[in-house]
A = this chain, B = another copy of it.
Amino acid sequence: MNTEQIEILLKEKNLKLTKQRKNIINKLLEIKGHFEIEELAYKLKNKGIKASRATVYRTLSILKELGLINEVIKHGNKTYYEVNLKEHHDHLVCLSCGKIIEFHDEKIEKIQNKVCKKFKFKPYYHRLEIFGICNECQKKLKKRG
């Protein structure tokens, strides 16, 4: 997924390619990893890129509709997004340091599909979040006693 492809997608949907949208998309492709909307808005502002918070929210909403970004983690009252660059994957979230580890397991995906078939449920997308303590934090916590 690159800028051009996204631009084509927007055109197909009769969506205009404004400066703001270009800027937001470029920033997203630069970030690559997980991000929060507020963080993104802040980073844009910090780089002198003009895009109001409302526009950021509206643009992300469109990109989500288009399947270019996903809500991958919901923790506390925050939503973390991710650009849909790689193969689908799920996440381990460290409750101590906030680190996010990606993993993909084909077996889990297959079993999920089986479960859906059993219920005649048509799956669109899923989110699997495993919350716990990462290796580094376990070590730190042990040291402290």
**Chain A residues within CB distance 8 Å of chain B:** 74, 92, 94-95, 101, 103, 105, 107-108, 111-112, 115-116, 118-135, 138
Residue of B nearest to A128 (CB): B128
> Does A92 contact B116, Cβ atoms closer than 8 Å?
yes
Task: Provide the bound-state CA to CA distance between A138 and B122, in Å.
Answer: 8
4 closest A-B pairs by beta carbon, nearest first, are A74-B74, A120-B135, A123-B132, A126-B130
Q: Which residues of B contact A116 (CB under 8 A)?
A: 92, 130, 132
Alpha-carbon distance A110/B32, docked complex (angstroms): 30
Q: How many copies does the complex hold?
A: 2
A130-B134 CB under 8 A given contacts A74-B74, A111-B107, A116-B92? no
Of B103, B105, B120, B131, which is within 8 A of A124 by CB?
B131
Candidates B121, B128, B133, B135; contact of A126 at CB < 8 Å: B128
* Residue in A103, A125, A128, A129 with the greatest tally of chain B CB atoms within 10 Å: A128
> CB-CB < 8 A to A132: which residues of B?
116, 121-125
Closest CB-CB distance, A98 to chain B, in whole Å? 13
